[in-house]
């Protein structure tokens, strides 16, 4: 089930976010940068702001199975540009369709809001995420300046097939 995040989800979202990030940052950046106390606090604060955001400015969607949070996605619209800021699936739930269902729900929200194009930045070493986004229709922007160790991808919402009852 995909639903809108609630304030009560904050601890579970932050924990899932931390577990997911550890899978692709491990061995590439210092552990303190993704598992340190300061980073965990920053993560909680960021998700708290995202959950509290006005719907016109973005949203947070949760994937849930049998009462357990299995994935989370966040997007934000600012200055007329919409960005998929986060999409994480708990590693124990990989390859079960959770990410695709979350993505389809985001696309449907964007479509209903009249958003035609969305951007995201993906960590250059996260090849799993890059492959996932490619299957969802995201394209690399060869003209975009790199954002540190991240690559910019774009999705034309109008070109993504409508979700089929997910």
Q: What is the pLDDT of residue 144?
A: 67
Q: Whole-prediction pTM value?
A: 0.84
Residue 159 has pLDDT above 90, yes or no: no
- For tokens 């790199």, name the residue: 146
As a whole number of angstroms, the distance between CA 155 and CA 84 comes to 10
User: Where do we find the tokens 């965990």?
Assistant: 40
- Structural domain range at position 147: 2-159
pLDDT digits (tens, 9 = 90+) for 113-130: 999 999 999 988 888 889
- Residue of 142 and 137 predicted with greater confidence: 137
Asked whether the beta carbons of 104 and 166 are under 8 A apart, the reply is yes
Q: How confident is the model at residue 143 (pLDDT cuts 50, 70, 90)?
A: confident
Q: Is residue 153 part of a domain?
A: yes
In the chain, how many domains are there? Answer: 1
- Does a structural domain hold residue 164? no
Residue 147 falls inside a structural domain: yes
Quote the pLDDT of residue 40: 74
Q: Is 134 within a domain?
A: yes
Per-residue pLDDT reduced to its tens digit, 38-63 = 777 888 899 999 999 998 899 999 99
Residue 166 lies in a domain: no
CATH of residue 110:
3.40.630.30
Query: Domain for residue 70, yes or no?
Result: yes
Residue 165 lies in a domain: no
């Amino acid at each position: 089930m995909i639903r809108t995040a609630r304030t009560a989800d904050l601890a579970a979202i932050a924990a899932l976010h931390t577990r997911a990030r550890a899978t692709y940052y491990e061995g590439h950046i210092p552990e303190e940068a993704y598992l340190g106390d300061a980073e965990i606090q920053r993560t909680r604060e960021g998700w708290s702001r995202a959950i509290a955001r006005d719907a016109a400015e973005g949203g947070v969607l949760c994937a849930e199975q049998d009462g357990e949070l299995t994935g989370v996605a966040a997007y934000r619209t600012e200055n007329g540009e919409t960005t998929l800021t986060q999409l994480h699936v708990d590693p124990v739930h990989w390859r079960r369709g959770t990410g695709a269902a979350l993505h389809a729900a985001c696309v449907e929200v964007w479509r209903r809001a009249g958003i035609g194009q969305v951007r995201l930045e993906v960590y250059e070493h996260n090849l799993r995420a890059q492959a996932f986004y490619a299957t969802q229709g995201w394209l690399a922007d060869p003209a975009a300046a790199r954002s540190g160790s991240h690559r910019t991808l774009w999705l034309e919402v109008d070109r993504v097939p409508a979700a089929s009852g997910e």
